[in-house]
């Protein structure tokens, strides 16, 4: 952080960010003791206590919080200046801020980041793993992975993988209740429904019938607001549910869930990579976008729809 800033101030900010002197030392390439000495130097300079440490944790004092809040942004600006001069020499460096849904971040993005940083070790990654939709104006985001394109027309959204919507159930459930062959058969089944946490709106199931998308509010007494929990309930044999192939990929591939009525499965949206439309895009952002588009196959999640047949 901020190669040309005060080493003591940089050590304090990194320690506050990471929550320990050991982690800060590792990030800065110095010992934990050196981090502590830098922070102590800063405390002596200002005549205040900045950090309280116990054997289990460290925390900022009120004066530490004040310094952190006032100094962190300027140090980040200095980092950006460093990165600009690095990039003028063709060096890919600086802070890259990414937001992505939790499951995608854990299962797909972390391996990609590992490979990207191996090629560009001077790039720092700030990964926000959240199912909330971040705003490019109010939130510090360079690139975002989202289900569907960005609502803001000033953003560029690149589709990176198709996500068919499948109706699925556990083999045990189908053995007991039978396999539906048409959406009309849902009246004889228990359906597990999904409610969006942000709006409390209940997801209407979707089917493609004679080339048209039809929406159905299926019967069922179980309602969930978390897709992971919904999947586990379906895998436990509690009923049918609908899920896109991204969330359902692992369950379909290992046989815990099987798809039914595939002839009616629509593709309602894609997984998109979104980023601001600007002329002077930082080199690190441009390289990461190109890297993702080359690494993620267009049908990497669509393949899950045929897992049962294999």
Q: What is the pLDDT of residue 310?
A: 41
Q: What is the pLDDT of residue 186?
A: 95
Distance CA 224, CA 241 (A): 11
Q: Among residues 206, 216, 218, 205, which one has the least CA distance to residue 266?
A: 206
Q: What is the mean pLDDT of residues 92-113?
A: 87
pTM of the entire predicted model: 0.60
Residues 6 or more apart in contact with residue 295 via CB below 8 angstroms: 112, 115
For Cα atoms 244, 166, 110, give the angle at the middle one, nearest 5 degrees. 30
pLDDT bin (cut points 50, 70, 90) of residue 155 is confident
Instruction: Flag whether pLDDT at 309 surpasses 60.
Output: no
Residues 213, 269 contacting (CB under 8 angstroms): no
Instruction: Flag whether pLDDT at 277 surpasses 50.
Output: yes
Strand partners, 207: 214
Tell me the C-alpha to C-alpha distance, in Å, between residue 101 and each of 36, 104, 186, 272: 36, 5, 30, 11
Strands 267-276 and 143-147: antiparallel
DSSP 8-state secondary structure symbol assigned to residue 184: G
Average pLDDT, the chain: 84
Q: What is the pLDDT of residue 53?
A: 82
Instruction: Flag whether pLDDT at 91 surpasses 70.
Output: yes
Q: Among residues 13, 43, 12, 11, which one has the least CA distance to residue 29?
A: 11
Q: Please report the domains of the chain, with CATH numbers, ordered by start residue.
A: 1-89 (1.10.10.10), 162-268 (3.40.190.290)
More confident residue, 246 or 40: 40
Q: How many residues does the chain have?
A: 310
Distance CA 275, CA 14 (A): 27
pLDDT bin (cut points 50, 70, 90) of residue 307 is very low
Distance CA 129, CA 115 (A): 18
pLDDT bin (cut points 50, 70, 90) of residue 199 is low
Helices (H), 48-162: 62-88, 102-104, 110-119
pLDDT bin (cut points 50, 70, 90) of residue 78 is confident
1-13 per-position pLDDT tens digit: 544 557 888 889 8
Q: What are phi and psi of 237, to 5 degrees?
A: 90, 20
* 111-115, 214-218, 225-229: range with lowest mean pLDDT: 225-229
Which range of 21-30, 95-104, 184-193, 291-300 scores highest in mean pLDDT? It is 184-193
255-265 per-position pLDDT tens digit: 999 999 999 99
More confident residue, 7 or 138: 7
Instruction: Flag whether pLDDT at 304 surpasses 80.
Output: no
Helices (H), 133-184: 171-177
């Amino acid at each position: 952080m901020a190669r040309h800033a005060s080493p003591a101030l940089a050590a304090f900010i990194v320690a506050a960010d990471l929550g320990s002197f050991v982690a800060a030392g590792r990030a800065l390439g110095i010992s934990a003791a050196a981090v502590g000495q830098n922070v102590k130097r800063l405390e002596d300079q200002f005549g205040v206590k900045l950090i309280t440490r116990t054997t289990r944790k460290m925390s900022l004092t009120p004066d530490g919080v004040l310094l952190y809040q006032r100094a962190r942004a300027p140090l980040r600006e200095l980092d950006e200046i460093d990165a600009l001069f690095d990039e003028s020499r063709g060096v890919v460096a600086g802070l890259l801020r990414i937001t992505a849904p939790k499951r995608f971040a854990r299962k797909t993005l972390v391996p990609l980041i590992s490979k990207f940083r191996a090629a560009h070790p001077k790039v720092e990654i700030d990964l926000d793993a959240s199912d909330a939709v971040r705003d490019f104006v109010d939130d510090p985001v360079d690139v975002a992975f989202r289900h569907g394109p960005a609502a803001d027309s000033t953003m560029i959204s690149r589709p990176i993988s198709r996500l068919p919507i499948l109706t699925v159930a556990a083999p045990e459930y189908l053995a007991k209740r039978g396999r539906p062959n048409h959406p009309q058969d849902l009246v004889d089944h228990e359906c597990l429904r999904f409610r969006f946490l942000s709006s409390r709106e209940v997801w209407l199931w979707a089917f493609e019938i004679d080339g048209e998308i039809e929406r159905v509010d299926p019967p069922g007494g179980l309602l969930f607001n978390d897709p992971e929990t919904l999947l586990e309930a379906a895998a436990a044999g509690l009923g049918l549910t609908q899920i896109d192939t991204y969330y359902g990929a692992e369950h379909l591939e290992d046989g815990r869930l099987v798809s039914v009525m595939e002839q009616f499965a629509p593709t309602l949206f894609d997984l998109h990579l979104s980023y601001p439309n600007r002329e002077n895009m930082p080199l690190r952002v441009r390289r990461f976008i190109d890297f993702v588009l080359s690494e993620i196959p267009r049908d990497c999640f669509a393949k899950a729809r045929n897992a049962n047949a294999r």
